Structure 1
Amino acid sequence: MTGPDQFSPYPISKVHRLIEPGPVITISTSDGRHDNLMTNGFNMPVQHGGLIGFVLGPWDYSFDTLRDTRECVIAIPAIELAEQVVDVGNVSGADVDKWERFGLTPLASASVAAPLVAECFANIECRVVDDRLVDDYGLWIVQAQHVWVDDSKRGTGEIHHRGDGTFSENGEAIDLRERMTKWPSLID
């Protein structure tokens, strides 16, 4: 069967489940008195060179701190931290110290006040470079300032939220570098 008849309608309200934007991340912020941590599943690379976008709105406790300080740390957990990361997202930093409750360790950053997450395999210190879409969409564009990776903590890979409470992890890597003839700078 070919053409539209082979397809079933899908709700527009759930289209994000088909376009899974990136790995589940945590975003840490600090107002100088309180370090907070939140879970985020709506994020994406915006441009080569460390430009990253994510959605964080006034419904998030971290919103005011990010708006005031214009800096954060994006930490990428491995699948082994999936349950903790989901639990972090189920409570508000207004009510609980997430670091203590979930056994996560804040570490000093090199260029921002927000802490790194010791248990995550990657930490990206960021500064806000564009907030024009925040009021309308909650979309922040940040620029990486420093990036830290601990491959020993990467485990089996990143966590991906499928938009419906289910998650997947990265599968086996497929090496197609020899076919990337138009973008050789991407294969180093």
Structure 2
Amino acid sequence: MHSLSLSKTFTLIESGPVVLVTTHDGEKDNIMTISWTMVMDFTPVFAITTGGWNHSFAALQKNRECVIAIPSVDLLDKAVGIGTCSGADTDKFAKFKLTPMQAKLVRPPLIKECLANIECKVIDIVKQHNIVVLKAVAAYIDTARKERRTVHAVGDGTFIVDGHKIDRKKMMASKLPPGV
């Protein structure tokens, strides 16, 4: 074993899926790329980490709703591009040729090109750690979409793409909620 700088330890466990989070500030829609996500438990409660450095954060605080859109690998360059410009001066839907779709229970739009979309309400903001806790209120998946592999940020500008799925449902059956 070799020592690893503590400043690089996050690259060992960060690899949750890259998501696109849409918000609406009362006037316009925006999208931000987030790679810091967390499933809280088997209920539809999730968390993302963001803060004042993201233009969308003010809309999250004020309106307390968003959509988590899950892109597949074919949208990686768009997701990276979205994360490297600001909604303060860029219409990201137009710039990256993404299609906003009306959500049913929240004002921010779904993203048509994404594999899945989750409408969410903000239920808590842990200011000390910039953690936004979200409760899903509706979810959609594009079952006709051919590309289904998601992307995971390592944190150093590289990404991991989902590969072969290994099934251990029978072994884990006593720990999984019904219907999973």
| Same fold, TM-score > 0.5, yes or no | yes
SS in 2 for 1:37: strand
Q: Normalized against structure 2, the TM-score is what?
A: 0.95
Instruction: Note the residue ranges of structure 2 that are not aligned, 5 or more in a row.
Output: none
Q: Which amino acid aligns with 2:38?
A: M
Q: Distance in 2 between matches of 1:181 and 1:148?
A: 25
> Is residue 2:140 matched to residue 1:160?
no
Q: Cα 1:161–1:184, aligned 2, differ >3 Å: closer, same or farther?
A: closer
1:44 maps onto 2:38 in alignment: yes
Task: Note if 1:62 corresponds to 2:53.
Answer: no
User: What is residue 32 of structure 1 aligned with on the other side?
Assistant: 26
- How many pairs are equivalent? 180
Q: 2:70 aligns with which of 76, 80, 84?
A: 76
SS of residue paired to 2:140? strand
Distance 2:4 2:179 in 1: 36
- The one-letter code of the counterpart of 1:164 is D
**1:108-119 superposed matches below 5 A:** 108-119=102-113
- Moved >2 Å (runs of 4+): 151-154, 184-188
Alignment of 1:39-188 (within 5 A): 39-131=33-125, 133=126, 135-153=127-145, 155-185=147-177, 188=180
Where in structure 1 are there 5+ consecutive unaligned residues?
A: 1-6
Query: Percent same amino acid at aligned positions?
Result: 37
Q: CA deviation at 1:68?
A: 0.2
After TM superposition, the score normalised by the length of structure 1 is 0.91
Larger gyration radius, structure 1 or structure 2: 1
String of CA shifts for 1:124-174, please: whole Å, max 9, x gaps.
00001111x1x2111010000000110223614111011110111111010
